[in-house]
Amino acid sequence: MTALVERVRSAAAGSRVPTRFLPVVVTFALFVLMFAGGGLRYESFASGQVLLNLLIDNSFLVVLAVGMTFVILTGGIDLSVGSVVALSTMVAAALLRAGLGPFVVMLLVLAGGAVFGLAMGAVIHYLEIQPFIVTLAGMFLARGLCYVIDLESIPIDDPLFRTVAQTAIPLGDELFVSPSVLVALAVVAAAVYVLHLTRFGRTVYAVGGSAGSAMLMGLRVAQARVGVYVISGACSALAGLLFTFYMLSGYSLHAVGMELDAIAAVVIGGTLLTGGSGFVLGSVLGVLVLGTIQTILSFEGTLSSWWSRIVIGLLLLVFVVLQRVLARRGPAA
């Protein structure tokens, strides 16, 4: 491990890539190598539709990772996102079953996710309680509310939801994407704009670098720290809606462990767990890496799905070590 650290440090020192971009470059290179390796091993792997399927099958995780990126950039964490996804599917399915219109249901689900995030963010900031504890409580609360709504799976028969779930948007040459992919890409574009072209985004980075310094500079620290949890809650609810389109059901056991997938994607995408450094596009690449691992396993056919967890664990260890190396090197121009 020491030799690996020294080798990465030497490579980083000689690289012309600024330190803050290096983890994203490494993630992109890893994704390209994995996809190319899959193409060499499996005849039909390296195709445009397989690449698009990574987005189709993980559009909800992309949205979830975007919200998690905001939180981790401030040095926080949100363990509730997977449970909020499940709760959103249950609320949507139950309200549709009760006869509410689909657009009203979607608005109520999104508003509920934002309010849930607002409550956790306010407790974290104003009561100065660790995000791990507050969001852990939120995780149990949201998962418990799922069982209060119904113990069984609730199928969704709404025509609009079924139409969206079954729609394929053609891209030519027999390629297609789902509407959920377009929603996820729109969320990514909006997140990039907010983080890099707005005062709120700059404050998020400043708070992650040093909340005390940000406060002395007159930045709205409270707005940023609470706001990122509102964003995370809204993204979790939206991811829940996309997952509802994907599964066409609400179920209490949906999205178990998905919060760990979101955190893994963000870390593999190069966002520092201590906050202050990272990019939304890196998190998207992290999701694509996770999706490629699962796709390779499905093409292999003979390997257990648990191998994906083993590989993800190893990748997390490597990227945490890389973060440590780059942190010791310090900022680059």
**What is the per-residue pLDDT for 8?**
47
Mean of the per-residue pLDDT values of the chain: 89
In a domain, 10, yes or no: no
Write down the H helix ranges in the chain.
2-14, 22-41, 48-73, 81-97, 102-126, 131-149, 159-166, 179-197, 199-209, 211-216, 221-247, 258-268, 280-300, 306-329
Whether 88 and 240 have beta carbons less than 8 Å apart is answered as: yes
In a domain, 7, yes or no: no
In a domain, 36, yes or no: yes
pLDDT over 80 at 325, yes or no: no
**What is the per-residue pLDDT for 333?**
35
The region of weakest confidence among 115-124, 240-249, 282-291, 316-325 is 316-325
Mean pLDDT (whole number) for 21-27: 87
* Containing structural domain, residue 54: 18-329
In a domain, 195, yes or no: yes
Mean pLDDT (whole number) for 236-258: 94
Residue at 106: amino acid letter = M
Scan for tokens 């409550």, then name that residue: 119
Q: DSSP secondary-structure letter at 128?
A: T
In a domain, 6, yes or no: no
* Residue of 182 and 303 predicted with greater confidence: 182
- Give Cα separations from 286 to 66, 268, 289 (angstroms): 11, 5, 5
Q: What is the CATH number of the domain that holds 217?
A: 1.10.3470
pLDDT over 90 at 47, yes or no: no
- Give Cα separations from 202 to 205, 292, 330 (angstroms): 5, 32, 20
In a domain, 5, yes or no: no
Whether 240 and 84 have beta carbons less than 8 Å apart is answered as: yes
In a domain, 142, yes or no: yes
Please write the tens of the pLDDT for every residue from 99-118: 999 999 999 999 999 999 99
CA atoms within 13 A on the CB side of 299: 18
In a domain, 313, yes or no: yes
pLDDT over 60 at 5, yes or no: no
Residue at 238: amino acid letter = L
* Residue of 320 and 116 predicted with greater confidence: 116
Q: How many domains does the chain have?
A: 1
